[in-house]
Amino acid sequence: MVRMVNIACLQTRPMAGFDTALAEAMPLAEAAVQAGAQFLFLPEYCGGLASEGPALRPPHAVEEQHPFLEAFRAFAAAHQVWVMLGSIAVTGPDGMIINRGFILDDKGEVASRYDKIHLFDIQLSTSEVYRESATVIAGGQAVIIDTPLGRIGHTICYDLRFPQLYRALAQAGAEIIAIPAAFTQKTGEAHWHILNRARAIENGVFIVAPCAIGDIPGGGASYGHSLVVDPWGQVLADGGASAGVVQAAIDLDKVDEARGRIPSLTHDREFSLGNGAGA
């Protein structure tokens, strides 16, 4: 039986405040629903993003009063669609924040949460430095959820560079792994397509990777090119370098097909690390 799901990535521009972030995302969400999308995927920090030197300073609020989350809960319920908020900044303890992703069901209820595990502490050059850990508390738990539209694993942005997370999610039965991001322009040009395709191929999963596009208030820029990649590594949709809706119909039966052809998820072996000097 073919299990077709119509999905849409909303390729939004980074906005400094809740109101501007909602004004950016809501028209794209409306357009995606009108085009038949059953599941919407938004980027990392879709609820607002700004930087201050190497630190990220997104607008944040406690989860129970977060205006971006509440607006999309109402949207999901009104349109009876599933929504992944790639991540929003949630107020944490001691002046820190949590980079938290959400899946909302078609009644607007929170179905799952995921706190980003791997934080982006990188120095790309003398002038381009990022220290996400300066303001963000890392998560420590991988998350997978069963939905009527497939079994979905959460990840966020820099997680993409840690293949063991994707292996664990795939071996736990994920058919789709989401990679919402605000990938930098420089690293995106070099690695975005390659890494997304690799995660799809090595795990036999659909990758859905909505990525923000354009300048970040305060400094930096996001790469865009939101991707939908099938389990064989074929790019089904690429959002390019403009804000908009990136839509694709995916056949979840392709997951079993790919894993049947190359059943590497069942071939992992334990090993030790030696120096090669002999038995």
Residue 85's nearest CA partner among 109, 63, 101, 68 is 101
β-strand pairing of 39-41 with 4-11: parallel
Structure tokens, 4: 């077709």
Query: One of 9, 24, 46, 116 is an active-site residue; which one?
Result: 116
Query: One of 24, 44, 132, 175 is an active-site residue; which one?
Result: 44
The yes-or-no answer on residue 46 being catalytic is: no
Query: One of 157, 175, 211, 254 is an active-site residue; which one?
Result: 157
What single letter denotes the amino acid at residue 120?
F
Structure tokens, 152: 């979905």
Secondary structure (3-state) at 113: strand
Name residue, tokens 């989401």: 178
C-alpha to C-alpha distance for 200 and 175, rounded to whole angstroms: 10
The helices-and-strands tally (H runs, E runs) of the chain is 6, 19
Residue 231's nearest CA partner among 258, 198, 251 is 258
Residue 220's nearest CA partner among 16, 5, 10 is 16
C-alpha to C-alpha distance for 153 and 163, rounded to whole angstroms: 13
| Stretch (H or E) spanning 13 | none
Non-local CB neighbours of 169 within 8 Å, separated by 6+ positions: 142, 144, 153, 155, 177, 203, 205
Q: Crossing angle for the helix pair 67-79 and 18-34, nearest 10 degrees?
A: 20
User: Other CB atoms closer than 10 Å to residue 206's CB: what's the count?
Assistant: 27
Secondary structure (3-state) at 171: helix
β-strand pairing of 206-209 with 227-229: antiparallel
Catalytic residues: 44, 116, 157
